[in-house]
Amino acid sequence: MSTDKIIIKNALITTFLIGGFFLLCNAIGLGENPYLRFLNLAFVLIGIYLAIKESVIKNNETLYTTNLGIGIRTSVLAVALSIIGVIIYIQFINPSFIDVMNSSFLIGGNLSLAEIVITLVIEGMASSFIGSFIIMQFYKKPEKLKTAK
């Protein structure tokens, strides 16, 4: 399978996990709980793990930097798609959600949508890079790559 297909597939899985969790939380009345946003990191880590594992198994890719790049690109795409989803949600579905975001301890203040997006980009890129480095620790030795299959 091509690297781009692996990245897109797993970024979409990650985005759907984040979006589905967000919609589920809103449906059961927990959409305003800022602590649940920490679970987004778990979904990003899952997406990175799945992408790197698929690269190792299907493409027999054992080069650390290549798999690290796949993890980073997967999570960056997933974060970008999730941010687009937040923008669409605030602009067209629930404009008052910006108040919920502003009251969050993670963002805090009276930010515009553009400022919130910048904050989410910085937060998402940090989790993408750190998450990819963390997941790659499981795949940095050749003997571990063989057991991942």
Residue type, 106: L
Is 33 buried (19+), middle (13-18) or exposed (0-12) by CB count in 10 A? exposed
pLDDT tens per residue across all 149 residues of the chain? 899 999 999 999 999 999 999 899 889 988 777 778 788 889 999 999 999 999 999 998 889 999 999 999 999 999 999 999 999 999 999 898 888 877 775 666 788 899 889 988 998 999 999 999 999 998 776 555 555 55
Domain housing 105: 3-147
In the structure encoding, which two tokens stand for residue 63, read together? Answer: 């080069």
Whole-Å CA distances, 35 to 5, 75, 93, 99: 33, 21, 22, 16
Distance CA 10, CA 76 (A): 11
Contact between residue 21 and residue 39 where contact means Cβ atoms under 8 Å apart: yes
Contact between residue 75 and residue 127 where contact means Cβ atoms under 8 Å apart: yes
Domains in the chain, number: 1
